[in-house]
């Protein structure tokens, strides 16, 4: 199958898919949510992967690299663009504290669980401890974050209103920051990769390139009226930054996120840019979901078992975190359980980060990590949808 066919197929599927998914009414039923959710594209990816029907050959995927690099850069830039200090400083410290606990506590629990799972279930006893820890850390960071789209859907569907639910929305929206940071710092911890000083230099360079990129975009675009001229500059910057990141084994997500933060805090045309950035984002996320299983999917009972254990750990640790922070939010008795279900599904930043790690380090074990992550993503979403349904049915009685 040639590049054109792959490109055409992906373009059509992601374009139509993103329209179908994101045009749905906010309060539609749990069954249609599960069927129409973006995670269905993970299953599609598995189906056409070399492990499935083998429709797409791995060599062809290499030709999609520019698109993947661009996608990572775009997603990172858009995320950074939303971090506007003018608004962020108005948010209560309690919320930051709560959002931090809600992410960090589960991350710690998941790290321990993933480490144990990899060591004793996956048979990585012979591996260097540092490697197993890195694997476990990647998994913990990816699984601890939550999906804003699901929180939004559930809030509308079950009419969950009030300050504490707005906080959950905030926690789900901000926790992408942690895995992106984690991915940026990952290179430092690879065995034989760097020493401490080198690692510091790498992160400084990543920040410097991002700040430079964001500033150049601001100065070039600030007086331009023609939307397509601005798009040319914007696309050029995102392509360039993600290309540079790839060449130096930096994190494209992090570099472009820094560029986005720099730009958003200098420009005065937020609404204009937001309008143009958003439509490209959704198809890109769906593309990541399709492409991730294509790069290798180590399917089997053990990854499935580990994934199930990790989802249970995530639920209980989120529940624990919500119980800890309940007094801060003055929430009701049943709130922690509801919040744990709300924060259970993972967002599409996970596939993006896994693809980024694979592109940067070209590591073999990614197929196992990808399989566990994909299983966990599917299981967590199904559990969350069902859990929310049953919980609210019981409450309404």
Partner 1 sequence: MIHLLALLGLAVLGLIIRSFALIDISSSAAYGMGMIMLIGYCAGQVFRKLGIPSITGYLVAGMAIGPFGMELITRAHVEDLTLINGLALSLIALTAGGEIRISRLRPHLKTITWVLVMQTVTMVTGMTAGFWFLATRIPNLTISTQTGILAAGLLIGVVSTASSPSTTLAVIVESGRRSVTTDLILGIVMLKDIVILFLFCIGLNVAQALTSASSGNPSGLGNTFFQISGSVIVGVLIGVIIIAFLKYIKSQQVIFILAICFFTYEIFEPLKLHPLLIMMSAGFLVVNLSREGDRLMDHLEEISPPVYVLFFTLAGAALRLDLLKTLGLTAMILVILRIACKWAGTWLGLRTSGTMPYLRHRGWTAFVSQAGLSLGLATIIADQFPGWGDSIALLILSAIFINQLIGPLTLKWLLDRDGK
Binding site for partner 1 (CB under 8 A): 3-4, 8, 11, 15, 65-66, 69-70, 73, 216, 219-220, 226-229, 231-233, 235-244, 246-249
By beta-carbon proximity to partner 1, the closer residue of 8 and 20 is 8
Least distance to partner 1 from the beta carbon of 228, Å? Answer: 5
By beta-carbon proximity to partner 1, the closer residue of 104 and 203 is 203
Cα–Cα distance measured from residue 372 to residue 391, given in angstroms and rounded to the nearest whole number:
27
By beta-carbon proximity to partner 1, the closer residue of 195 and 396 is 195
Cα–Cα distance measured from residue 44 to residue 49, given in angstroms and rounded to the nearest whole number:
8
Cα–Cα distance measured from residue 373 to residue 365, given in angstroms and rounded to the nearest whole number:
13
Least distance to partner 1 from the beta carbon of 136, Å? Answer: 27
Is residue 344 within 8 A of residue 387, CB to CB? The reply is: yes
Least distance to partner 1 from the beta carbon of 385, Å? Answer: 30
Measured torsion, CA atoms of residues 146, 150, 151, 152, in degrees rounded to the nearest 10: 140
Least distance to partner 1 from the beta carbon of 17, Å? Answer: 14
| 129: Cβ contacts below 8 Å, ≥ 6 apart | none
CA distances from 250 to 288, 296, 323, 329 (A): 19, 22, 38, 39
By beta-carbon proximity to partner 1, the closer residue of 262 and 338 is 262
What would the two tokens of residue 239 be? 């392509």
Least distance to partner 1 from the beta carbon of 112, Å? Answer: 34
| 334: Cβ contacts below 8 Å, ≥ 6 apart | 391, 395
By beta-carbon proximity to partner 1, the closer residue of 11 and 47 is 11
Phi-psi region of 362 (alpha: psi -120 to 50; beta: other; left: phi over 0): left
Least distance to partner 1 from the beta carbon of 291, Å? Answer: 15
By beta-carbon proximity to partner 1, the closer residue of 18 and 325 is 18
Cβ of 199: how many Cβ atoms within 10 Å?
A: 16
By beta-carbon proximity to partner 1, the closer residue of 69 and 318 is 69
By beta-carbon proximity to partner 1, the closer residue of 8 and 200 is 8
By beta-carbon proximity to partner 1, the closer residue of 117 and 214 is 214
Phi-psi region of 162 (alpha: psi -120 to 50; beta: other; left: phi over 0): left
How is 181-245 classified by DSSP, letter by letter?
A: HHHHHHHHHSTTT--HHHHHHHHHHHHHHHHHHHHHHHHHHTT---HHHHHHHHHHHHHHHHHHH
Phi-psi region of 57 (alpha: psi -120 to 50; beta: other; left: phi over 0): beta
**What is the 3-state composition of the chain as percent helix, strand, coil, each rounded to the nearest 5?**
80, 0, 20
Least distance to partner 1 from the beta carbon of 12, Å? Answer: 9
Least distance to partner 1 from the beta carbon of 209, Å? Answer: 9
Least distance to partner 1 from the beta carbon of 63, Å? Answer: 9
């Amino acid at each position: 199958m040639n590049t054109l066919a792959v490109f055409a197929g992906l373009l059509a599927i992601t374009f139509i898919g993103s329209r179908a998914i994101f045009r749905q009414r906010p309060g539609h039923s749990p069954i249609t949510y599960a069927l129409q959710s973006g995670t269905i594209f993970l299953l599609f990816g598995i189906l056409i992967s070399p492990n499935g029907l083998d429709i797409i050959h791995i060599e062809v995927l290499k030709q999609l690299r520019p698109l993947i690099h661009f996608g990572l850069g775009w997603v990172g830039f858009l995320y950074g663009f939303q971090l506007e200090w003018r608004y962020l400083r108005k948010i209560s410290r309690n919320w930051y504290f709560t959002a931090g606990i809600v992410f960090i506590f589960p991350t710690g629990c998941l790290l321990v669980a993933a480490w144990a799972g990899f060591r004793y279930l996956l048979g990585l006893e012979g591996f260097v401890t540092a490697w197993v820890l890195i694997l476990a850390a990647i998994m913990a960071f990816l699984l601890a974050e939550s999906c804003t789209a699901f929180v939004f859907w559930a809030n509308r569907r079950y009419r969950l209103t009030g300050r504490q639910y707005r906080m959950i929305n905030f926690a789900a929206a901000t926790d992408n920051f942690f895995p992106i940071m984690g991915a940026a710092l990952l290179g430092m911890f690879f065995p034989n990769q760097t020493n401490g000083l080198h690692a510091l230099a790498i992160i400084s360079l990543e920040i410097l390139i991002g700040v430079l990129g964001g500033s150049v975009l601001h100065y070039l675009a600030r007086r331009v009226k023609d939307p397509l001229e601005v798009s040319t500059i914007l696309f050029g910057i995102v392509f360039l930054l993600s290309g540079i990141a790839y060449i130096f084994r930096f994190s494209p997500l992090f570099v472009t996120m820094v560029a986005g933060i720099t730009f958003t805090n200098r420009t005065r045309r937020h609404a204009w840019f937001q309008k143009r950035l958003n439509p490209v984002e959704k198809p890109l996320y769906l593309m990541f979901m399709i492409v991730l299983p294509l790069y290798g999917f180590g399917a089997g009972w053990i990854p499935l078992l580990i994934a199930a254990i990790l989802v249970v750990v995530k639920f209980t640790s989120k529940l624990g975190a919500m119980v800890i922070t309940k007094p801060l939010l003055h929430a009701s008795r049943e709130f922690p359980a509801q919040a744990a279900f709300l924060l259970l599904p993972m967002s599409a930043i996970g596939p993006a980060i896994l693809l980024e790690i694979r592109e940067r380090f070209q590591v073999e074990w990614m197929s196992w990590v990808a399989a566990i992550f994909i299983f966990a993503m599917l299981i967590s979403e199904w559990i969350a949808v069902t859990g929310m349904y049953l919980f609210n049915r019981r409450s309404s009685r």
